[in-house]
A and B are shown apart, each in its own frame.
Chain A
Amino acid sequence: MAEKLLEIKDLRQHFNVGKPNEVKAVDGISFDIYRGETLGLVGESGCGKSTTGRSIIRLYDATSGDVFYEGENVHGKKSKKDLKKFNRKMQMIFQDPYASLNPRMKVMDIIAEGIDIHGLAKNAADRKKMVFDLLETVGLNKEHANRYPHEFSGGQRQRLGIARALAVEPDFIIADEPISALDVSIQAQVVNLLKELQEEKGLTYLFIAHDLSMVKYISDRIGVMYFGKMVELAPAEDLYNNPMHPYTQSLLSAIPLPDPNYERNRVRKSYDPSTHNYTEKDDVKMREITPGHFVQCSESEFQSLKASVAVK
């Protein structure tokens, strides 16, 4: 088995704790991310997938639970120096390339911000060269360095976002819906770029999205979230061919495919959480049905899922 890069243990992120409008955005999820893989995280809006990403990188302080990065706890007390060291290893690409770049800064300074903070460049010439190299890596050229973000198209801006994340040479990148705001033809360009960079630099991705066909394309494993909990986690291929949790099945049945004939015959399943009939006694948790394929279920459901797999 590959080396664990990140271990998330019973992570909880509640907002407005103690008030009547308490929101349990992330409610006890555990999973591992292995070095060099892409883990996709899908679910509908409000299911907590972005919050999970933001808690992992410590944009939020987790309510409870632990995140271990290379065995080291991310949350908890840390000196400024430790935090800085940690921030270099983990970076984030945001959804909206229009909002995530400072409109008053030139591209050169946007990309070099991380380089400056961590003191990675020896001198001004070195800094310049690093920025030019980064621009080239993401498919832009060095003339772009003196422009402002508004002079770029959406796809180009997302490339800038990627260049900025790469500037500090991280190992792990959280991509929070990096392509949702882009056009179809540009989406493919950005996804290809992310894949190339992964091969070149051995990056690990947490890829958060709601476009399931794109997630399947880029991910090695996929986690499905529903109301702050993870309901299924499996290798990408396995999840699509053999979804076990009823929510995953309903999600998959709702994806429109560019095939009119398939669309005419599509049967959509709907998901009703009350059909589980869980009682207090049921120990509902993630259980491994087939190797690597985890489903949130009760003991009795576990047995019947096991049996159904055995038949196949």
Chain B
Amino acid sequence: MEKILQVKDLELSFNTFGGEVKAIRGVNFDLYKGETLAIVGESGSGKSVTTKSIMRLLPENSAEFKNGEILFGGRDLTKLSDKEMQKIRGKDISMIFQDPMTSLNPTMPIGRQITEPLLKHQKIGKEEAKKVAIDLLRLVGMPKPELRMKQYPHQFSGGQRQRIVIAIALACNPQILIADEPTTALDVTIQAQILELMKDLQKKIDTSIIFITHDLGVVANVADRVAVMYGGKIVEIGTVDEIFYNPQHPYTWGLLSSMPSLDTDEAKLYAIPGTPPDLLDPPKGDAFALRSEYALQIDMEQNPPFFKVSDTHSAATWLLHPDAPQVEPPATVIERMKKFPGSRYYEGGAI
């Protein structure tokens, strides 16, 4: 498969009054053509910062690239000038934000907002851009697009607004679409519609999607591959089946067990104790060790490297080291592993 984007050893800090916040501490991943990569993790884990650094949307006076590169089309995005970046933003890489209420301009009819990237990036006239915009609105399932072009954002519902934002993002057929919690502000029924729409469109225009969310249900729905982030690092990455049915990192275990499924009956929900690490002064070893009941002595001292589970699956935990003691994952995770061929709890049958 063709690699469309490569993030290598990315390190990024924010300079604040309190000191240097190490928001991203060495992130590596590749994005393949036509796939959906979901990044999950709690707030402050660095998932939004990672994607904003790809788009170079971080404030330049406080955010600082410390190390690493972001390769896109043979160029390192961290080194481009603002002018060069403007040519990529909205054309080759575009973004959908969490809150459709604030990401549209309330004083501009939506038609003008959709034609804006077209006029900016493509050499077409106003009339033609308008036609393309109407087609886009139709594509995202907006009824009566000709009429709707002249309306303002407040005349649309939340779900419709998110459709408009998607239309703007797709206007120039981007190679990469970054969706930062695009459905978090929406209702479940509307969320399901938007997710279906995004999957449909992905097939039609063959774009790659980076999907950020903290909702594991949504991840299971949209993702081909999943990266789990914690404390400014990716701690586990693999295909969606590998992450959900054969997770290896204690943090992934914690995430999966703390979500009640519809048939959870236990009296008490599993809760990951404590709070995320302070990135002003990140812990020396494994950032999750302090909250983990599976932490080993070495976790406090040394950062775990990535251990390969399969060709597509790796996790950064000392538990995978050949010398590590074998531990029993939480019961709900064992239930999941029973369905995965290749895990040590596999009980036969297919997933």
A142 to chain B, nearest CB (A): 18
Q: How many residues of A are counted as interface, with CB atoms below 8 angstroms from the partner's CB atoms? A: 39
In the complex, the answer to whether B260 meets A263 with C-beta atoms within 8 Å is no
In the complex, the answer to whether B191 meets A217 with C-beta atoms within 8 Å is no
In the complex, the answer to whether A257 meets B254 with C-beta atoms within 8 Å is no
A95 to chain B, nearest CB (A): 13
CB-contact partner of A257 in B42, B217, B267, B269, under 8 A: B217
Which residues of A sit under 8 angstroms from B42, Cβ to Cβ?
A: 183-186
CB of A240 closer than 8 Å to a CB of B:
yes
Query: When A183-B42, A210-B187, A251-B189 are in contact, do A256 and B240 touch as well, CB less than 8 Å?
Result: no
In the complex, the answer to whether A195 meets B220 with C-beta atoms within 8 Å is no
Give CA–CA (A256, B339) in the complex, Å.
19
In the complex, the answer to whether A184 meets B260 with C-beta atoms within 8 Å is no
In the complex, the answer to whether A189 meets B260 with C-beta atoms within 8 Å is no
Give CA–CA (A255, B192) in the complex, Å.
8
Give CA–CA (A62, B240) in the complex, Å.
49
Give the residues from 245 to 272 in chain B that come closer than 8 angstroms, CB to CB, to chain A: 245, 254-256, 258-262, 264, 267-272
Query: When A188-B271, A210-B187, A254-B189 are in contact, do A259 and B240 touch as well, CB less than 8 Å?
Result: no
Q: Tally of A-B residue pairs with Cβ under 8 A?
A: 115
CB-contact partner of B268 in A155, A187, A195, A254, under 8 A: A195
Interface range for B? 35 or more
Which residues of B sit under 8 angstroms from A263, Cβ to Cβ?
A: 217, 220-221
Residue interface bits A188-199, CB-to-B below 8 A is 1, else 0 = 110110010000
Give CA–CA (A130, B196) in the complex, Å.
52
B16 to chain A, nearest CB (A): 15
Chain B CB within 10 Å — which of A187, A213, A254, A258 has the most? A258
Give CA–CA (A251, B190) in the complex, Å.
10
Query: When A184-B259, A185-B42 are in contact, do A256 and B220 touch as well, CB less than 8 Å?
Result: yes
Residue interface bits A215-241, CB-to-B below 8 A is 1, else 0 = 011000000000000000000000010
Which residues of B sit under 8 angstroms from A183, Cβ to Cβ?
A: 42-43, 214
CB of A260 closer than 8 Å to a CB of B:
yes
Closest to B242 in A: A260
Chain A contact residues, majority secondary structure: helix
In the complex, the answer to whether B258 meets A184 with C-beta atoms within 8 Å is yes
CB of B188 closer than 8 Å to a CB of A:
yes
In the complex, the answer to whether B189 meets A250 with C-beta atoms within 8 Å is yes
A44 to chain B, nearest CB (A): 4
Residue interface bits A117-160, CB-to-B below 8 A is 1, else 0 = 00000000000000000000000000000000000011110000
In the complex, the answer to whether A192 meets B217 with C-beta atoms within 8 Å is no
A36 to chain B, nearest CB (A): 16
In the complex, the answer to whether B271 meets A259 with C-beta atoms within 8 Å is no
In the complex, the answer to whether A184 meets B214 with C-beta atoms within 8 Å is yes
Which residues of B sit under 8 angstroms from A256, Cβ to Cβ?
A: 188, 191-192, 195, 215, 217-218, 220-221
In the complex, the answer to whether B158 meets A255 with C-beta atoms within 8 Å is no
CB-contact partner of B258 in A187, A210, A250, A270, under 8 A: A187
**Interfacial residues, chain B to chain A (CB-CB below 8 A):** 42-43, 158, 187-192, 195-196, 214-221, 223, 240-241, 244-245, 254-256, 258-262, 264, 267-273, 275, 339, 351
* A and B contact pairs by CB, cutoff 8 A, 16 listed: A44-B187, A184-B255, A186-B42, A188-B258, A188-B259, A188-B272, A192-B269, A217-B264, A217-B269, A255-B188, A256-B195, A257-B217, A258-B216, A258-B220, A261-B339, A262-B220
